Structure 1
Amino acid sequence: MILENIEIIDILQDGRGVGKKDGKVYFIEGGSYGEICNIELLEEKKNFTLAKKTKTLQKSKDYREPPCPYYYECGGCSIMDISYDRQIKLKQNLIKNALNKTAGIDLDNIKIIKSKDFGYRNKIRLKVGDNGDLAYKKKSSDDLVYIKDCLLANDHIRANFDNIQALSRDITEAMGHILSQISIRSNGKEILLNLYSDEVDKVYDYLKTKDLAYKINILGKNKTLRLGEDHLFFTYKDKTFKVSRDDFYQVNDYQIQNLYGLAKEFLGEDKKLLDLFCGSGTSSIAINGDHLVGVEINKSAIVDAKENARINNLTDYKFIAKNAKYIDQKFIKKEQIHAVTLDPPRAGIDKEIIKTLAKTKIPQIIYISCNPQTQARDIKRFQKEGYALEKIKAVDMFPQTMHVETIALIQKM
């Protein structure tokens, strides 16, 4: 069934448009904010109907011609056809709606710090096709879109893209479709490649005789081999961070200072900080400098966290390879913790961890999130435990997508 003259009035976090007609809500694949279009109905749900755009009748006043030739197929970006100023307003609305609907918090305005809108990513991850060509997935599909460039990648990655693709093709020509994915990470001077394969030894034996321009990790299900060092060094102000193959590091070089600067502003001075989900310690060291306790379940990340503490001459630190559920009131008291910083995965925080933190009566929590929906859910859970949202701001770490990073200060009432 086709519905005509549907205006796209909002954009979901996954990039789908939202339209309304006769009291019904439609989630529309391919819909761009502000346009008027015809849609085909696909599947009716309890509170909305899935649909796809079939024809644009009137373009949005915020429309811009996407500079990327792959945009309308590629799933890497979702709102490149919208002006950057409108992207920011949509993200403000996304955060406000999440807080209002989930946590009952009504805010007039959310400040979002803008980014350089292209060339900002220090890491991209690509699929490898049958011939070794590099690709992203298509929108809402497992099919591939083969690319020769990515406008979101930083200049160093883009300058090396052809050579990296040539390496992938060479491996594939010699041994068949043996690579599944390649991730490319750059610090602006050096590149670290992660090659994903079920045949780690074969790839290693083939490459070890080559004159390679990059540091390379070859990763399988149960084995990893490397050619050269397995890490890069990144700098932030006067800090240096070792970032290994699996370590988390913020992808937007131009916004890291703004993100951690806001977290530091919320935290204040002279605090001993507990960093749950601390990874390799980069965020807590950037935010607090010293006087840190970090907890992280990934043992290899904790090894790097300790190394980063030594590199940056920290004198009062402890990094522990434990599940975040490890902490309790006794631990908080023993370590003399003043505040907690949380930067969890997109799924947010386990509700039992929130209850445990609340029992410690820690006065100040800095919650960094790339998912406003799960952050709002967790703020509601903190509210039930006697905490309140004191401040919230956002940093646009991911232009051309509906993802956004938020920093919340949650305080004991």
Structure 2
Amino acid sequence: MILKDLKIIDIIQDGRGVARTDAKTVFVENAIYGETLDAEIIAEKKNFLEARKIKTNIKSKFERKPPCPYFYECGGCSIMDINYDTQIKLKKNLIKNAIKKSTHLEIEDIEIIESPEFAYRNKIHLQVDKDGGLNYLKKYSDEKVKINNCLIASDYIGQNLGQIEEISKEINGKFDGVITEISIRTNNKDILLNLYGTYDKDCQKYIKKNWQNSKFHINLIDRRKAYAINGNGKLDFKIKDKTFKISADDFYQVNQYQIENLYGVAREFLGENQKLLDLYCGSATSSMSINDDHIVGIEINKNAIKDAKENAKRNGLKDYKFIAKNAKFIDSKFIKENKIDAITVDPPRAGLDKEVVKTIANAGIDKIVYISCNPQTLARDIKRFMDRGYELKKLKAVDMFPQTMHVETIALIQKM
């Protein structure tokens, strides 16, 4: 069935356009915000339709020619075909609509700190084909798109991408497509490669022999185990006056221009002289950027906790404790025994477990600084806190992901 003359009035987080018929909302693949189009229905759900654009009838005034030659196939970027001012407007709408839907709060406007549009990512994750070629995935598909460059990746990554592909091609040529994925991370001085696959002893020995003197730091990641081929398998990063060691699987914010802005907003919301509990603390880059000392960190990744302790020593902290546990480990007794004044959380996209919200509220914590990469789960959790006597005091966003509909939001949630 064909739907004619649909007006695209918004973009959702996965990049699909939003239109409305008299009966249902329609989510349209490959649509551009502001255009009028015809679309073919590909799925009918109870409350909405899914469709694919087949023809543009009226072009969007916000449209631009995407500078990336892979854009129309590659799923790495979803809104490079609209101008950056409009991207910011759409992200504001995304956050405001999520907050309104969950909490019924009307937010007139939200400040978003803008980013350079390109060359901002210090890390990219690529698919590797059997021949060792580097790829992203196609939009709405598991098919691969061969790339020779990525405009949103750091220039330093781009300058070295050809040499990196030479490594993956040689290994996959000899060991029958052993590498399936690769992540590339840089501090703009060094590059850390994580090569994901299944490696027998002969393969490990071959890679060690041939690349132990590589200019790249190389880790083999096999069933979540990491083997350092050369170097120590880690990189050093600097955030303002602090330095951090980041290992193979440690979380680190990807936008090299916006990290200080993101943590600067969180630091402003938190205030000074706080004993801080940081849930999902990772290797403590966020904890130590937001609070100079007096930190208790909880993180399920044991290797990240090891790095957090080393980072604390590196940066001269005197009062810290880092514990390798699930966030649900904490309870009111733990919070009181550790004399916690405030809590920061930066959870995965799924947000906070409702039991964690309950624990924080029952402990009477006055202030929560919530960093979120998902406006929908942030809004849901704000509502959960509101139901337990809290209010949303401040909200600000940082555009960490230009050319996509993803955005980081920082919320200050305070006891009423």
Distance 1:206 1:111 in 2: 52
User: What percentage of residue pairs aligned between the two structures are identical?
Assistant: 59
The aligned runs of 1:87-102 (5 Å cut-off) are: 87-102=87-102
In structure 2, C-alpha distance between the alignment counterparts of 1:325 and 1:44, rounded to whole Å = 38
Corresponding residue of 2:401: 398
Between the aligned partners of 2:122 and 2:200, the Cα distance in structure 1 is 25
In 1, the alpha carbon distance for the partners of 2:125 and 2:326 equals 27
Cα distance in 1, alignment partners of residues 224 and 115 from structure 2: 38
Which residue identity is paired with 1:184? I
* 1:412 corresponding residue in structure 2: 415
Runs of 5+ unmatched residues, structure 1: none
TM-score normalised by structure 2 residue count: 0.98
User: Is 1:269 the counterpart of 2:272 in the alignment?
Assistant: yes
Deviation of the 1:150 alpha carbon: 0.4
Three-state SS of the structure 2 residue aligned to 1:208 is helix
Q: What's 2:71 paired with?
A: 71
1:278 matched to 2:281: yes
- What SS is found at the alignment partner of 2:305? helix
AA aligned opposite 2:239:
Y
1:137-152 matched pairs, under 5 angstroms:
137-152=137-152
What pairs with 1:14-413 in structure 2 (closer than 5 Å)?
Answer: 14-210=14-210, 211-221=213-223, 223-228=225-230, 229-413=232-416
Whole-Å separation in 2 of the counterparts to 1:93 and 1:108: 10
The answer (yes or no) to whether the contact 1:200–1:219 under 8 Å persists in 2 is no
CA contact (8 A) 1:31 1:53 kept: yes
Per-residue CA distance 1:158-180 (angstroms, 9 max, x = gap): 11001001111111111211110
Deviation at 1:200, TM superposition (A): 5.0
Instruction: Determine if contact 1:74/1:145 at 8 Å carries over to the other structure.
Output: yes
Amino acid at match of 1:284: S
Take 1:28 and 1:254, find their aligned partners in 2: how far apart are those partners?
32
Structure 1 runs of 4+ off > 6 angstroms?
Answer: none
Instruction: Single out whichever of 276-285 and 197-206 deviates more from structure 2.
Output: 197-206
SS at match of 1:254: coil
Deviations 1:279-312 (A, max 9, x none): 1111010110111010111111110000000000
Report the Cα distance in structure 2 between the residues aligned to 1:406 and 1:9, rounded to whole angstroms.
23
Q: CA deviation at 1:144?
A: 0.4
Q: With structure 1 as the length reference, what TM-score do the two structures score? A: 0.98
Q: CA deviation at 1:9?
A: 0.7
What number of residue pairs does the alignment pair up? 413
Equivalent position SS for 2:396: strand
Q: 1:202 to 1:222 in 2, by over 3 A?
A: farther
The CA distance in 1 between the partners of 2:179 and 2:237, in whole Å, is 27
Cα deviations across residues 88-116 of structure 1 (Å, max 9, x unaligned)?
A: 00000000000001111110001100001
Q: What SS does the aligned partner of 2:15 have? A: coil
Structure 2 distance, partners of 1:234, 1:12, is 33
Aligned partners of 1:78 and 1:400 also within 8 Å: yes
Shift of the alpha carbon at 1:222?
A: 5.6
Instruction: Tell whether the 8 Å contact from 2:112 to 2:397 is kept in structure 1 after alignment.
Output: yes
Aligned alpha-carbon RMSD (Å): 1.0
Aligned partners of 1:53 and 1:202: how far apart in 2?
50
CA distance, structure 1, for counterparts of residue 5 and residue 414 of structure 2: 47
Per-residue CA deviations over 1:253-273 (Å, capped at 9, x if unaligned) read 100111011001101111111
Contact 2:226 / 2:248 at 8 angstroms: preserved in 1?
A: no
